[in-house]
Chains A and B, each alone.
Chain A
Amino acid sequence: MKHKTFFWFFLPTALAMLLFIALPLTSVVSQSFHAPHEEVLLVSEICDPFGCATESTIDHQATEQLKKDKPLGQWVGFEIYTDRNHLAFKEVAEFWQTRSSFTGFISSLNNLQFYRAMGFTLTYVIVVTPLVILFGLIIALAVNSLHRHLKGLMVFFSLLPMIVTPLVGSLILFWMIDARGIVGSGLQEIFSDPNLSLKASTGLTWVTLIVYGVWHSAPFAFIVFYAGLQTVPKETLESAMIDGATRFQQVIHVVVPHLSPLVAFVALIQLMDNFRVFEPIVGFSASAHATSLSWIIWNDIGQEIRLFSSAATTSVLTIIGVVILLLPVLIRTWREFNPEK
């Protein structure tokens, strides 16, 4: 294909991505270095028979003019990045100096919103991703051994938790685990504790969100592994059987190595998707106990006075996190493309 033809074919999609992804991205970065203007104050001295006093009033005209001249706001450099609501260098340094123990230092970090969100986001990613892969593999192995007609039925029902809107899926589970819902009251019955509530404590909220995450994503891993199982070489399995391998050994030494590229694929997609965890926190109304980076951005934008600079700064930090997660993949793709280097 000639360069010119390629250009015309690719132009519409390139324009869409340039205007509505690349451009907003640069605007987010520039927002993160600017703070809103402060109001211009007029200081005047008013003297009356009892003495003189200075009085400051807002100069609306000058404020408007300033906002018009510099719509981005005032340049503050990295000030927003290091403030209390983001990386909070000053507070972290203070905590470090006054720490009594390392765990004490970690728990005092929990008072800073960025680190609290980071803590949940990373825990969620680290716990949910391997569990999704494990459950997906087990479900795939189990379903694959069923009768042909049952398989189709299982695939149909397994797709549901994944296809359904995350917010809607989490709401459905949220109602069920309510103290008056079937799962919530069932758990109270089992542990014979009438005050047991999954929403009340931080630990249980985290567990709920993680269970939701696995429920939502295991079907994806299942479908991918299930497709992979259809291509497991029969000869290798048979020769393993002749060599006296047990069922378990066959799975470990033949099936799992065959699926390993798929495991890498599922892990990559899951890392990207779990890092942006957001809807379940809204659906489970869990923000008092668990927040994520995406949730902080949402919260800043949703304020009555939209905190664009703060949201933009968190956005940039989130994007840096995504790039770090993706780095191994990018390096691998680069190496594959340039094998001689």
Chain B
Amino acid sequence: MTSNQIKRPLGLQLLIYGFVLLWLIVAAFPFFWTMWGSFKVELDFFSKGDWKHAISGVRTQAVYGESFTGAGYEGAWIQEEFWRAFSNTAIVCFFTVLTSLTIATLGGYALSRSGFRYSFWLLIIALVFRALPPITLVSGYLPPFYAWNVWGLLPTTIIVLVAINQPFTLWMLHSFFQTIPKELDESAKVDGCTQFQAFRHVIIPVMWPGVITAGLFSFLLAYNDFAVTAVLLNQDNQTMVPKIASFMGTTQTEGNVMFAVAAVVSSIIPLFLLVLFFQRQLVSGLTAGAVKG
């Protein structure tokens, strides 16, 4: 406890530092190890004889003359066309976040300003929807999508992801809008604004912190989704996560594990940057639901 003014005994101090260091290693080491190893050949990445080979890259040197190689990345991005998956992910995430935020902002605002009984029930229904594993819905999507011939397309998946995102985004924005005093838009209405004008001129200018936080989480939901994208997209439209999963099947047998390693590292980099730049918003978003109970 920092609030304790009494100095901690040395033993406790050491225990704390030891534990923190241990957690730091457990949390971060796997990522750095894999990033480092993605520039080696397979025999270095999986070096049974001497684990130091994975660091120095002895066999990589033997094959390529240098201790680093971009062969895995070349294989994944060009030969296996991972760039296609990357651009698909970018498209899916962009439109999912945009649409989710637009409709959830309106809905969340309405819920926070309506004291009627049905708004409580709508929130409860959203909570139940949030708890449903997305994969339980998938078998309900497929037959109609086949029948209408829209299976495998990016827009279909985007709409489905938007819908699956809604309950969560709605809850988040609802609790955010409740922290904006009602008096703000009430007074605008007294001055003769309609509800929508009040929203447009008074609420929109002050809502961005909450909207950005909600956007981050709906981005993560779209980016990390596996169950929906793997089933609903065809081969050409695959996003990164299902593509990586399909690497597992094909490359393992062909001895191209390094392609999969490179693809995995490539898919982590955007998330790494996200945490770097939006750490504060992520933390506030994680705790937002908790503080209000």
Contacts and interface: CB of A to CB of B under 8 A. Distances in A.
Interface of A: 1-3, 5-6, 9-10, 12-14, 16-17, 19-21, 23-28, 31, 71, 138-139, 142-146, 150, 152, 154-161, 163-168, 171-173, 175-176, 178-182, 185-186, 215, 219-220, 223-224, 227-228, 232, 234, 237-238, 241, 247, 250, 255, 261-262, 265-266, 269, 272, 275-276, 278-279, 282, 285, 294, 297-298, 300-302, 306, 308, 311-312, 315-316, 318-319, 322-323, 325-326, 329-330, 333, 337
Contact of A28 (B136, B223, B248): B136
List the 10 closest A-B pairs by CB distance, nearest first.
A24-B140, A20-B163, A13-B107, A9-B110, A276-B133, A180-B46, A315-B136, A12-B103, A227-B287, A28-B140
Contacts of B24: 154, 157
B27 A157 contact: yes
A9 B107 contact: yes
Nearest to A18: B163
Give the one of A6, A150, A155, A262 with max B CB within 10 A.
A6
B141 A154 contact: no
B133 A275 contact: yes
B106 A182 contact: no
Give the one of A145, A228, A322 with max B CB within 10 A.
A145
A259 to B, nearest CB: 10
B275 to A, nearest CB: 5
Contact of A297 (B139, B162, B264): B139
Contacts of B45: 175
Give the one of A16, A186, A282, A322 with max B CB within 10 A.
A16
Interface string B27-40: 11011011000000
Bin chain B's interface residue count. 35 or more
DSSP class of B's interface residues: helix, strand, loop or mixed?
Answer: helix
Contacts of B248: 171, 285
B286 A220 contact: yes
A106 B54 CA distance: 45
Contacts of A319: 132, 136
14 contacts: A2-B195, A5-B110, A6-B114, A20-B141, A159-B282, A262-B290, A272-B131, A278-B226, A279-B226, A301-B231, A306-B139, A308-B139, A315-B137, A322-B133
Given A24-B140, A166-B226, A167-B241, A17 B27 contact: no
Given A160-B275, A276-B135, 14 more contacts: A13-B170, A16-B103, A21-B132, A21-B167, A28-B139, A31-B143, A158-B23, A175-B257, A182-B54, A224-B286, A250-B1, A294-B227, A312-B139, A322-B133
Given A24-B137, A171-B244, A10 B124 contact: no
A21 B162 CA distance: 11
A132 B248 CA distance: 29
Nearest to A293: B133
A155 B279 contact: yes
Given A17-B163, A145-B2, A182-B33, A27 B136 contact: no
A301 B160 CA distance: 17
Interface string B102-114: 1110110111011
A219 B135 CA distance: 25
Give the one of A24, A168, A232 with max B CB within 10 A.
A168
A223 B267 CA distance: 24
B138 interface: yes
Given A168-B244, A171-B244, A143 B20 contact: yes
B143 A27 contact: yes
B276 interface: yes
Contacts of B195: 1-2, 5, 9
B132 A278 contact: no
DSSP class of A's interface residues: helix, strand, loop or mixed?
Answer: helix
A298 B135 contact: yes
A3 to B, nearest CB: 7
A31 B282 contact: no
Contacts of A228: 287, 290
Interface in B71-111: 102-104, 106-107, 109-111
B68 interface: no
Contact of B166 (A17, A144, A172): A17
B104 A13 contact: yes
A142 B19 contact: yes
Contacts of A329: 127
Contacts of B114: 1, 6
Contact of B131 (A28, A158, A311, A326): A326
B128 to A, nearest CB: 7
Contacts of B19: 138-139, 142
Given A157-B27, A159-B282, A28 B137 contact: yes
Given A13-B166, A185-B48, A163 B275 contact: yes
A250 B33 CA distance: 39
A223 B286 contact: yes
B274 interface: yes
A27 B144 CA distance: 10
B208 interface: no
Contacts of B2: 144-145
B110 A185 contact: no
Nearest to A146: B20
A278 B135 contact: yes
B289 interface: yes
Contacts of A176: 30, 33-34
A297 B34 contact: no
B287 A223 contact: yes
Contacts of B148: none
Contacts of B103: 12-13, 16
Interface in B149-180: 159-160, 162-164, 166-167, 170
